[in-house]
Amino acid sequence: MNNKLTLILLLFLVVFISCKKTKTQIIEDPGIPLLEKVTYGPELSYVYTWNDNYLISEEKTKYTYTRHNYNSQNQLVSSDFYVDPGIYSSDSHIAQASMNRTEWVSPDNTAREMFRTYEYNQNGQLIKYSINRINYKSYSILEYNAKGQVSKETWYSDGKANGNTIYAYSDAGNLILKTRNDFLADGTVKLSTTTAYEFDDKKNPYLLFKMQIPGINTNQNNIIKETYTLWFEVDSSIDKVQITATTYEYNDAGYPVKKNGTIEYVYR
């Protein structure tokens, strides 16, 4: 009888520990307004939904739909992308039909175009993400600086490195320079493009999306100027230096509510 009781207790303990290990971590309310939608003039452009742990779960537009999936540690493990293929068509009639669509893209009416998976190290830092399409697969390996910021991203296809992106940051933690290099067949490295950014001192609503790939989801503040430079020969009709300036209006909490006078941010 004692042996049976001991066995039952041991089984109970194993089940209890197993359940405890896989229990989903609960995230407290961050006390930050969640971006719910973005409008362009009278038109609804973006809709965002959030799960119970205040993590972005869906990004919706008329032409695209993205679903994000998390593990029990609230780490993003995969993203599914759905896109209306007609918007890329070289046939003007097909492209126009897509532009005129009224029903928004969703998994119910559109095939998945690709999915992305994410891998982390023991410190919870993103170290690899892979892009999977029907006839194409690629991945990127991320390296970090002493401050825990992504400093280099090397991208691969067919197991071969094709190039890298070097990231530089301000003291505030904003991405201020992105340098893209291509790896040529002869083994040399060729500078391809650079993108420099300037920022305001207000709060970035996309920071709560918690994506670790450097850019809009990692910046503390909002981009007010972007200078994109091409370092290779292009047609004379194309500017090798392209500058985009952005203005904002803000709410009392310091978050943007309007961009360039026409784009409005709506919070939950």
Q: Tell me the per-residue pLDDT of 46-82, one tens digit each, with 9 for 90 and over.
A: 999 999 999 999 999 999 999 999 999 999 999 999 9
| Structure confidence at residue 25 (pLDDT) | 56
For position 110, what pLDDT does the model report? 96
Q: What is the pLDDT of residues 6-44, one digit of tens each?
A: 444 444 444 444 444 445 555 566 678 999 999 999 999
Q: What is the pLDDT of residue 135?
A: 87
Which carries the bigger pLDDT value, residue 19 or residue 230? Answer: 230
Residues 140-197: tens digit of each pLDDT: 999 999 999 999 999 999 889 999 999 999 999 999 999 999 999 999 999 999 999 9
Residue 100 has pLDDT above 50, yes or no: yes
The topology under which CATH files domain 32-267 is Porin (2.40.160)
pLDDT at 3 over 70: no
The answer to whether the beta carbons of residues 131 and 157 sit under 8 Å apart is no
| pLDDT at residue 134 in the model | 87
232-254 average pLDDT score: 96
Long-range contacts at 90-94 (CB < 8 A, ≥ 24 apart)? none
